[in-house]
Each structure stands twice: as C-alpha cells, then as structure tokens.
A and B are shown apart, each in its own frame.
Chain A
Amino acid sequence: MSAIDHDAAPLPSGEPRPAPVPAPPLSTPLPAPARPRWPQRLRAAGMRLGLTTLAGLMLAAIVHIVTILLIPALSQRDAAYAYRELGAEGNAEIVPLARGSGSLPALQEADPDVVTAVCAYDLAAGPVRVVARTGTLPLGLTLQRQGGGVIYAITDRAAIRGVLEFLVLTEAQYDERVANDEEGETSRELRVVSDTERGLVVARVLAKRPSDRGDAEALAGGVRCGPAG
C-alpha cells in the first residue's frame, strides 16, 4: 500500500470527518507547501558551503597579496630600519657580520670575506654626494631604497683617477639641478635619482686574503656621504 493510499484511508476510529472547509471559488484547493526533503537539503547546504568557501578563498587571495605588499613598508626588521642611524657623521660605517658584536643587528646572508659599510641618506634635507676612493681590492657601491630594491649599482671599474663620485637626488631636485646647469655645458657629475627619500648607500669591499681585511675596512669605511654643496 502506498503512502498516498494510506493517507486517503478512512480514520480508524470511525469518527465522522470534520466538515470540509468551503472551497475557494473557481479553483481547486492549493497544495500545502511541500517540506524540503533530505537530498534537497543536503544539496542546498553543500551549495552554501561551496559558495562561502569560494568567498573565503577569494578573501584569502586578497589578504595574501595585501600582506606581501605591506611587509616591506611596515617591516622594522629590515636593513633600512636597522641601519637608519649610520653615516650621520658623513662617513659610511662598517656593519657587523656576526651577532653579539656591537649594538647593531648583524647583516644576514653576508659573505664573511666581504667588508660592508653603510651610510643612510635622507634626501629631505637636499641631495647627497657619495665619494669613494678606490684601491686594489674590488669595491662595489649600491643604493638600496627603503622598502626594497637596489636602485643603482656601480663598481670601482667606473672610477675616474681613483675616485668614484655620484650624487643622489629626488626627481624634483634633479630637475632643479638640470635647470641650474650652465647653458651649453655638459655636466660631468653622475646623478642618480632615488624614488624614495630615504635609503642606504652600501659599500662592499672584497678582502681576498685575511691580510687584506685592514685595507678593505679602510676602503669601505672611507666612503664619504654628505650633503652636496
């Protein structure tokens, strides 16, 4: 016997059926709203879980990208923050390679055979002139901007009569300098535009033998970085 037949069977007690409700005019009675069955409920719940998971994954992608982009701007463990005070005297200062040597944080992933000296610059006070004397040991100078990225790199092979010299300026300071150049004359100074006001001048000298270390420290620590006249 089917469920429908069962529903249609007369009441077992034999009581008379309640009087039928008067039918609405012109139409048959509306069927009562069917209750969702289990498979349908499961499907709806699955659909909802899928949609919310998809939304969660999209949010995760956004959070991932924003976090990756914000890390350099917010980091207080990076080199630009750790070495922001160096070079205030107008000379690059040598940074430690191992922990526990001085108050400065040690440089990570550094070559133990290389002497590194750092000088922080802030272009808000005007352009900065960097002057390095070269010697027999390989010397490299880089400009590392705050927030990551090496904006300029030069080695001592570009030195003229044993001196490497360049000017670090912002775009506006560069334009001003070009406007002040003598008409018809070529400026001989090397100008490097930094797109951030703050950054680090990094001098690296390779000490090929342990006995070269003194010379390397003198070369790296002898890099001058002061306000340009």
Chain B
Amino acid sequence: MRILDLAYILGLGAGLGLVSAHWAVAGRPAVGKVEVGAWMAWPGSGSRGVDPYMRAYLARGVHLPLGAGEGVELIAERSDDGAHLDGRCRYRLSGSVPTTRGWTLGVTDGAGRPFALPLDRASFSDAEIVRGEDGALSIVAAAAPQAGNWLPLPAAGRFQFRLRLYDTPVSSQTGETRAANLPRIARLDCR
C-alpha cells in the first residue's frame, strides 16, 4: 500500500508538473502581458529582468526579442469589438501610432510567421502607406483587393496583426500608453 501511495504521489507530481510547465510556456505566457485596447505587448521580454515564464518561452525557439530601448512589438488577436480576427472579414486600422523612428504593421499566423499569399505584401512600413489630408493612418485588411492601403489577408482562418515600433519612447512604459494612441481595429463586415 505504501508503494502504491508513493507511486501515486510521484506520478501525479511529475505528470502534472511537466504538463503544466509545458502548457504554461507553449505560447506567450499570461505573466507580464500588457493590454492596451485590442493590442497586447510583453515589454519585459526585452529587459535584463525578463520573467522566468517569458524566458522559458523564448528559449523554446529561435527568438531574439526587441530590447527595451530598441523597440516594442504589439500583437492583436481580436478586433476592438472583442471578436477573433478572421480572414473572412474586412478590417479597418485607423488612428495614430506613437512617436517612433519607424514602424511596421504586418499580418501573421499565430506563430508570428507571414502567410504565403499570392501578393507579396505581408506588411506595411511607415514609409509605404498613403495618408489622408489629415495625416491619419487608414489601412484596410481584407482577402479581396481594396482601394487605398490594402493589406491582404488569408481567405479564411485566424490571424494576428503585429505592430512593431522601433526606437520609441513607448517601449519602456507600454502599460501606460492609452488605447487612443494606438491604431483602432474596426471590423467592417464578414463574408
């Protein structure tokens, strides 16, 4: 009976411990996440004191996170209304981008890889977009061609927007940024 107890304790401990550790760092960990509107960021990932979960997540693949003084990466998985981003819908990204030396806005899958689409346009940089008279940003992301700044989406399925700000004062205090300072993601319609 004692051996049975010991086997139960060891099995439960090792099994649950390993499975929970794997689960905790299989994706970006919830620890250290900062949410601003629809955007998420992990500003601690580029610092000396990166938390152990983020460190373990980064060590499980070939990652080189942006340094805290170098820039910040913001990820959106949902539109402003809380629905998951889906290739069957059209989205408009509008508003402003924080002060920065340069930014890029890309469409990726859940693992951060660009999609292999027929049109070679996985992202826009600040130098590539056409702006309106007021200088505001307006990008339409859709699977079908759109007038203006068109960011092609996959025909269906989940995707992410990744906004990378380079050399920006926001990077060290991302949590204090207001949602109004980042582009809004409005869902226009769905097929």
Tell me the complex Cα distance, A161–B44, Å: 32
By the criterion CB–CB under 8 Å, are B112 and A59 in contact? no
By the criterion CB–CB under 8 Å, are B123 and A69 in contact? no
By the criterion CB–CB under 8 Å, are A57 and B12 in contact? yes
B191 within 8 A of A: no
Which of A123-131, A146-154, A181-189, A219-227 has 4 or more CB atoms under 8 Å from chain B? A146-154
A116 within 8 A of B: yes
B48 contact set on A, CB distance < 8 A: 149-151
Pair count A-B, CB < 8 A: 195
Given the interface pairs A59-B9, A151-B48, the reply to whether A67 lies near B18 with Cβ below 8 Å is yes
Contact of B122 among A112, A142, A202 (CB under 8 A): A112
A162 within 8 A of B: no
A64 within 8 A of B: yes
Nearest-CB residue, chain B, relative to A76: B59
Contact of B13 among A62, A141, A149 (CB under 8 A): A62
**Would you call the interface of chain A mostly helix, strand, loop, or mixed?**
mixed
Nearest-CB residue, chain B, relative to A63: B17
Given the interface pairs A59-B10, A64-B17, the reply to whether A148 lies near B125 with Cβ below 8 Å is no
Please provide the chain B residues from 45 to 82 with a CB less than 8 Å away from any CB of chain A in the complex: 46-50, 52-56, 58-71, 73
Tell me the complex Cα distance, A197–B27, Å: 29
Tell me the complex Cα distance, A157–B168, Å: 11
By the criterion CB–CB under 8 Å, are A108 and B67 in contact? no
B25 within 8 A of A: yes
* Chain A interface size range: 35 or more
Tell me the complex Cα distance, A48–B1, Å: 11
Tell me the complex Cα distance, A177–B67, Å: 27
By the criterion CB–CB under 8 Å, are A140 and B112 in contact? no
Tell me the complex Cα distance, A107–B114, Å: 12
B35 within 8 A of A: no
Tell me the complex Cα distance, A149–B56, Å: 10
B13 contact set on A, CB distance < 8 A: 55-60, 62-63
B-side residues, CB < 8 A to A, are 5, 8-18, 20-21, 24-25, 46-50, 52-56, 58-71, 73, 101-102, 104, 106, 108, 111-114, 122-123, 125-128, 162, 164, 166-167
Given contacts A150-B67, A206-B104, 18 further A-B contacts (CB under 8 A): A55-B13, A59-B14, A63-B13, A71-B25, A71-B60, A78-B62, A111-B104, A112-B122, A138-B101, A142-B67, A144-B64, A147-B59, A153-B70, A154-B70, A155-B166, A155-B167, A208-B127, A209-B127
8 contacts between A and B (CB under 8 A): A63-B14, A71-B21, A75-B60, A138-B102, A148-B50, A149-B49, A150-B48, A206-B102
